[in-house]
Homo-oligomer: A and B are copies of this chain.
Amino acid sequence: MPRGRPGAPRSVTIADVAREAGVSRATASRAVNDSDLVTAETKRAVHEAIERTGFVVNARGRALATGRAETVGVLVTEPLDELFDDPTYGRVLRGVAEGLTGSGFLPVIIQASSESERALALRSFGRRSVDAVVHLTPYRGSDLLESLAGTGLPVVLCGQLDDSPYDGIFSTVYSDDVHGARLAAERVLADGRERVAVVLGPADNPATVDRRRGYAEVLGSRLDEARVVHTGWDTAAGLAATARLLKSHPDIDAVLAGSDRIAVGSLAALHAAGRQVPEDVAVVGFDGHAIAATSTPPLTTVAQPLVEEGHVAARLALDMIGGAAPRTEVLEMSLVSRVSA
């Protein structure tokens, strides 16, 4: 007969409340859950008993009885401390939290940047400590996704994978990079730019691939491969890459950047090279981060609906918990016009 841990005073259970209110445990439970099978008067009596006893439902007991933990795990595989200069995940996270409010489900963030942390998280998921998993930072090539599928839990992926090997298994939400890139390219084209340079993030990144495709679709033959470069996602990388580009192709009149941080680097490189933005060279960023609004000059950029992505992820998770089949939602990007293009 397990007695909680020794020393820990037995806490108030619904049986205590029932006794105190002079009703059965079932009725007390119904009152707690505000069922409308209970008289207003009985409810009042139970609530008074709750007041008097200081009762709080025990999540463990409820979870076992209902088969639900009322919890959504948010899996973050990037190390949180390395993530500090990329606001992307913070925004999506906020969206997930917002999307879950009112549902009775609590988002719990699970950091899983090391192999051992991943194993721990997986084990915990397998044991059904959460009702669904929102994976904020999915990537292929590990067996993490495979293991997640193995848990049988509802899983939502935030972000696009190369192809879609998990259609029908996971739900997915992502922003349409191809479309966003088209918007950027169309803008500089409409502006009469002729010699467009492209400074992208790492070549093996799916977002990079899609953005490049979007640019190419709109620019067509105007896109000279020699003016397309890949670099890191950050400002320093953008600066260096753009500076090099300006050496080899001094005549460029537009830069399509693969991220806002890259774009800010481009701005700096152009400034250093004595080019005026947007008079001599137009610059269009990608992401819609805060830094795009405060750069000099303020950056025209393709905004990803990150918070909305979180909202949708939450909805997908709730739907799957409710028994819905997995599905994929693609969100539209939008062009935010500022000064730089």
Whether A129 contacts B84 by the Cβ 8 Å rule is no
A60, CB-defined interface residue at 8 Å: yes
Number of copies: 2
A274, CB-defined interface residue at 8 Å: no
Whether B106 contacts A109 by the Cβ 8 Å rule is no
The chain B residue sitting closest to A74, CB to CB, is B109
B11, B57, B62, B90: the one contacting A81 at CB < 8 Å is: B90
Instruction: For chain A, residues 281 to 297, give those with C-beta under 8 angstroms from any C-beta of chain B.
Output: none
A56, CB-defined interface residue at 8 Å: yes
A137, CB-defined interface residue at 8 Å: no
Given A84-B84, A87-B81, CB of A129 within 8 Å of CB of B94: no
Given A7-B323, A127-B58, CB of A91 within 8 Å of CB of B87: no
Whether A58 contacts B128 by the Cβ 8 Å rule is yes
A63, CB-defined interface residue at 8 Å: yes
Kindly state the separation between the CA atoms of A165 and B80 in the bound complex, as whole angstroms.
Answer: 32
Chain B residues near A83 (CB-CB < 8 A) = 80, 84, 90
B69, B73, B93, B107: the one contacting A60 at CB < 8 Å is: B69
Chain B residues near A66 (CB-CB < 8 A) = 2
1/0 contact string of A90-105 vs chain B (CB within 8 Å) = 1101100100010000
Instruction: For chain A, residues 22 to 53, give those with C-beta under 8 angstroms from any C-beta of chain B.
Output: none
The chain B residue sitting closest to A5, CB to CB, is B67
Whether B93 contacts A80 by the Cβ 8 Å rule is yes
Chief secondary structure at chain A's binding surface? mixed
Instruction: For chain A, residues 131 to 155, give those with C-beta under 8 angstroms from any C-beta of chain B.
Output: 152
A226, CB-defined interface residue at 8 Å: no
Whether B90 contacts A128 by the Cβ 8 Å rule is no
Whether B129 contacts A59 by the Cβ 8 Å rule is yes
A330, CB-defined interface residue at 8 Å: no
A120, CB-defined interface residue at 8 Å: yes
Chain B residues near A231 (CB-CB < 8 A) = none
Whether A2 contacts B87 by the Cβ 8 Å rule is no
Chain B residues near A57 (CB-CB < 8 A) = 127
The chain B residue sitting closest to A90, CB to CB, is B81
Kindly state the separation between the CA atoms of A7 and B325 in the bound complex, as whole angstroms.
Answer: 12
B7, B94, B116, B120: the one contacting A80 at CB < 8 Å is: B94
The chain B residue sitting closest to A61, CB to CB, is B64
Whether B65 contacts A81 by the Cβ 8 Å rule is no
What is the CB-to-nearest-CB distance from A153 to chain B, in angstroms, rounded to a whole number? 11
By a beta-carbon cutoff of 8 Å, the part of chain A in contact with chain B is: 2, 4-8, 11, 56-69, 71, 73, 79-87, 89-91, 93-94, 97, 101, 106-111, 116-117, 120-121, 124, 126-129, 152, 323
- 13 A-B Cβ contacts within 8 A? A57-B127, A58-B127, A59-B69, A60-B63, A63-B64, A71-B129, A79-B90, A80-B83, A80-B84, A81-B91, A84-B85, A101-B117, A106-B129
Further pairs besides A62-B127, A64-B64, A81-B91: 17, Cβ < 8 Å: A5-B68, A7-B323, A8-B323, A56-B127, A57-B127, A58-B128, A60-B63, A60-B128, A71-B129, A73-B108, A82-B90, A84-B84, A84-B85, A84-B90, A108-B109, A109-B110, A109-B111
